[in-house]
Structure 1
């Protein structure tokens, strides 16, 4: 569960930082501010959070590949 939490927190943090920077750069229209921050943080997370994304993928893959216990 830890890799999922780290990745999710990192994505949210990156979005909030991007939102703050864009706000400081005088992008004041709320809808445009959120949309641009979403796009920029998405692109940045693709580049910056690849290790965390791989860890989440491995964690999910391990859970899916694990054999289920059989009921009697």
Structure 2
């Protein structure tokens, strides 16, 4: 019985130390398509309405892609 009394604290200590040293689960690295910055905007130096419309449409698509990428990154980083 004396041996059991001496081993009980040691066993409890080993069990508790195993729980304390666990590491939190790690996330996989951020996907490459979400890790790139949004493209820089081109300057507009034309007086043509057609060029203005083309640039506006191009910027609209660029904004949509960048907004989608940011939303995906925020969802990825959201705590689970």
Q: Which has the higher contact order (CA 8 A, sep 6+)?
A: 1
Larger radius of gyration: 2
Question: Would the TM-score normalized by the shorter structure come out above 0.5?
Answer: no
Structure having the larger proportion of residues in helix:
1
Q: Give the TM-score, by structure 2 length.
A: 0.33
